[in-house]
Amino acid sequence: MHWFPSFLSQLLKKDLSESEQKVRELMDLRREEQVSKSAVHVTKSVEATRAHLQGQLHNKEAENNRLAVQLRVHTPLSTRCSVD
Cα–Cα distance measured from residue 38 to residue 32, given in angstroms and rounded to the nearest whole number: 10
What are the sequence ranges of the domains in the chain?
A: 8-70
- Mean pLDDT (whole number) for 8-13: 94
Helices (H), the chain: 3-74
Task: Count the alpha carbons within 13 Å of 19 in the hemisphere toward its beta carbon.
Answer: 6
At 50-69, the pLDDT tens digits run: 999 999 999 999 999 999 99
Q: What is the largest CA-CA distance in the chain?
A: 117
Q: What is the pLDDT of residue 81?
A: 63
First-to-last alpha carbon distance for the chain, in angstroms, is: 109
